[in-house]
Amino acid sequence: MLKQLGKEDFPKVYGIMEQSFPKEERRSYEGQLALMEREGYRLYGVEGPTGVLRGFMAVWERKGYCFLEHFAVS
């Protein structure tokens, strides 16, 4: 099930991000975490049956459109 993630989930999200994207294609941990404070930035995740985060989507939700910035699965 897809659910919106919060700051408490961010370390798991960033772990998947590090495994999935080269350093040049991602922000620093601090820079990525800071986006959680920006209006319209959302993280959505999918957990497996044991509650382990299996994938995430990082999106910018704006009036009239949604921009998918990162998508990765573990």
Whether residue 69 is predicted with pLDDT greater than 90 in this model: the reply is yes
Both tokens of residue 1? Answer: 């099930």
Share of the chain above pLDDT 70, in %: 100
Both tokens of residue 10? Answer: 């961010």
Instruction: Give pLDDT tens digits for 27-57.
Output: 999 999 999 999 999 999 999 989 899 999 9
Mean pLDDT of the chain: 95
Residue in the block written with tokens 């939700």? 61
Whether residue 1 is predicted with pLDDT greater than 90 in this model: the reply is no
pLDDT at 5: 97
The set of residues, in sequence order, having a beta carbon less than 8 Å from that of 28 and lying 6+ positions away, is: none
